[in-house]
Amino acid sequence: MSSLADKRLLLGISGGIAAYKSADLVRRLKDRGAQVRVVMSAGAREFVQPLTFQALSGNPVHTDLLDPAAEAAMGHIELAKWAELILIAPASAQVMAKLACGMADDLLTTLCLASEAPVALAPAMNQAMWRHPATAVNAQTLRERGVQLWGPAAGSQACGDVGPGRMLEPADLAQQAESLLSGSSDCLRGKSVVITAGPTREALDPVRYLSNHSSGKMGFALAEAAQRAGAQVTLIAGPVNLATPAQVKRVDVVDARDMRAAAERAADLCDIFIGAAAVADFRPATMAEQKIKKREGCDESAIALVKNPDIVAGIAARSQRRPFTVGFAAETQQVEHYAQDKLQRKNLDMIIANDVSSTNSGFNSDRNAVTVIDRHSSTHLPQALKADLARQLIEIIAAKAQP
Ligand code: PMT
């Protein structure tokens, strides 16, 4: 039976072209057994008719705060108490700004203030609006208050732009709602977890570096999931452009040697260490003090590299204060074979292998598919949003890390 069976979900729809996708979302939530009531902002009603949502949800659509007839049927306070989850999809830049300020000037924003249910937003807007510092601050304020932000995804937009700002697909949102309402366990209550995330940058000269395409999304999703599961989390992040998950301690680093120093310090007091960072295996043997110049007539050049310290192997090699140590393996071929080899060679307790040969999974993507390997078993987790996968991984790691 779906964990949305009989769950009471209030779907808020704000103004944006993605509102048409919300019709499919209602259908998917209903298919999973949820009771759905829809609240539409004035902007949303410019894009889609309330009748569509009434037909799909089987309930009248709520639109006005001060409508006596609607209030007599199910008043806004009653509606706020009815909801077990408020999901706003699409969530426009405007609705995010209003919620961040605590405004209550229409039915949807009033319900969010009046309800004690968890609130999740599926942002959808033009990529420049999403990147705008005002939206970034609003998003961070909401996160810090415990509001969940699901997405946005990146890709081509209705206006012709390309970038972050697309609403997640209805199937993914329904999955996220199901994961949230299936009850987050506190499987890591009282535990301390250290996670490395993102790439490292190895300087060649003051303006150039060697690095890779890691976005940090996988490690940040793990940090958020571990914190929600009750852990105290330290996130050691290479150079990435991501907001810090609520109540997570973040340490920013640049290169592999900085990351190792931060990891060794933090690991002294931790129970679980997860190496999700894509650490550069090599760095330039020397860093030029000045920008390296092109030389006349010189069409080739070589860079001498030296090996970086292996951070996760160093943690796993400890004889004292050794945490349960988990590595990741990013492979483009023979994924399980190479991951097994790293598990043994680095003396890890567990390794999470991801196939990074495809562009819609692994590096710099919102999705991933992994195989969790320890010395006795191997479990495949099919492709899912990194946030969803992170919750599953944290459950598995918590169970295996039990003393
Ligand atoms: O950041 P995203 O865009 O979300 O992408 C996520 C990811 C694909 C980067 C992530 O899921 C992942 O696979 N991270 C590990 C990538 C990697 O570099 O794998 P590796 O096979 O080179 O290293 C194996 C393990 O050793 C990893 O845990 C790595 O953190 C660790 N390592 C590697 C080298 C080094 N010098 N020190 C290390 O600790």
Question: Is residue 264 lining ligand 1, measured as CB closer than 6 Å?
Answer: no
pLDDT of residue 222: 97
pLDDT at residue 184 is higher than 70: no
Check if the beta carbon of residue 199 is closer than 8 Å to that of residue 212. yes
Chain segment 375-388, per-residue pLDDT in tens:
888 898 888 889 98
Question: Is residue 342 lining ligand 1, measured as CB closer than 6 Å?
Answer: yes
Binding site for CTP, by residue number, is: 281, 291, 309-312, 328, 342, 346
DSSP symbols for 194-251: EEEESB--EEEETTEEE-----SHHHHHHHHHHHHTT-EEEEEE-S---PPPTT-EEE
Residue 109 CA, ligand 1 centroid: distance in Å: 41
pLDDT of residue 356: 84
Q: Which CATH number fits domain 192-289+296-401: 3.40.50.620, 3.30.930.10, 3.40.50.10300, 3.30.70.270?
A: 3.40.50.10300
Q: How far apart, in Å, do the first and last CA atoms of the chain sit?
A: 33
- List Cβ neighbours of 140 (8 Å cut-off, separation of 6 or more): 243, 244
* Segments making up each domain of the chain, as ranges: 8-181, 192-289+296-401
Residue 280 CA, ligand 1 centroid: distance in Å: 9
Question: Is residue 327 lining ligand 1, measured as CB closer than 6 Å?
Answer: yes
pLDDT at residue 333 is higher than 90: no
Secondary structure of residue 338 in the 3-state scheme: helix
pLDDT of residue 96: 98
For the annotated catalytic residues, the residue numbers are 159
The amino acid at 230: G
pLDDT of residue 403: 72
Chain segment 48-87, per-residue pLDDT in tens:
999 999 999 999 999 998 777 777 777 889 999 999 999 9
What is the atom index within ligand 1 of the atom nearest the CA of 368?
11
Residue carrying the six token digits 């060794």 = 264
Q: Please, which pLDDT band fits residue 162 given cuts at 50, 70 and 90?
A: confident
Q: What percent of the chain has pLDDT over 70?
A: 99
The amino acid at 136: A
pLDDT of residue 364: 85
Tell me whether the CATH fold assigned to 8-181 matches the one assigned to 192-289+296-401: yes
Residue nearest to atom 17 of ligand 1 (CA): 278
Residue 198 CA, ligand 1 centroid: distance in Å: 8
Q: Cα dist. 323→223, 257, 270, 373 in Å? A: 16, 20, 6, 17
Distance (Å, rounded) from C-alpha 124 to C-alpha 44? 12
Chain segment 282-292, per-residue pLDDT in tens:
999 999 999 99
Residue nearest to atom 27 of ligand 1 (CA): 328
What is the atom index within ligand 1 of the atom nearest the CA of 308?
36
What is the atom index within ligand 1 of the atom nearest the CA of 342?
24
Question: Is residue 385 lining ligand 1, measured as CB closer than 6 Å?
Answer: no
Beta-sheet strands, E only, within 350-398? 350-355, 367-373, 378-385
Chain segment 254-312, per-residue pLDDT in tens:
999 999 999 999 999 999 999 999 999 999 999 999 999 888 888 888 999 999 999 99
| Cα atoms found within 13 Å of the Cα of residue 126, Cβ hemisphere only | 7
Residue 279 CA, ligand 1 centroid: distance in Å: 6
Enumerate the β-bridge partners of residue 85.
9
Q: Please, which pLDDT band fits residue 396 given cuts at 50, 70 and 90?
A: very high
Q: Does domain 8-181 have CATH number 3.40.50.1950?
A: yes
Torsion-angle region of residue 268: left (phi > 0), alpha (psi -120 to 50) or beta? Answer: alpha
Distance (Å, rounded) from C-alpha 374 to C-alpha 352? 9
Distance (Å, rounded) from C-alpha 153 to C-alpha 365? 9
Peptide bond into 164 cis (omega under 30): no
Per-residue tokens: 235: 């996130």
Per-residue tokens: 130: 């999403």
Distance (Å, rounded) from C-alpha 280 to C-alpha 259? 11
Binding site, by residue number, is: 281, 291, 309-312, 328, 342, 346
Check if the beta carbon of residue 365 is closer than 8 Å to that of residue 343. no
**Average pLDDT, rounded, for the chain:** 93
Structural Rg of the chain based on CA atoms: 23
Q: What number is the average pLDDT over the span 136-143?
A: 92
Q: How many helices (H) and strands (E) are present in the chain, helices listed first? A: 15, 19
Per-residue tokens: 40: 């539409």
pLDDT of residue 1: 54
pLDDT of residue 70: 73
What is the atom index within ligand 1 of the atom nearest the CA of 331?
21
Peptide bond into 152 cis (omega under 30): yes
Per-residue tokens: 7: 């769950």
pLDDT at residue 2 is higher than 70: no
Beta-sheet strands, E only, within 224-323? 232-237, 249-252, 272-275, 282-284, 305-307
Q: What percent of the chain has pLDDT over 90?
A: 75
- List Cβ neighbours of 130 (8 Å cut-off, separation of 6 or more): 93, 123, 152, 163, 164, 165
pLDDT at residue 138 is higher than 90: yes
pLDDT at residue 359 is higher than 80: no
Per-residue tokens: 127: 């990529």
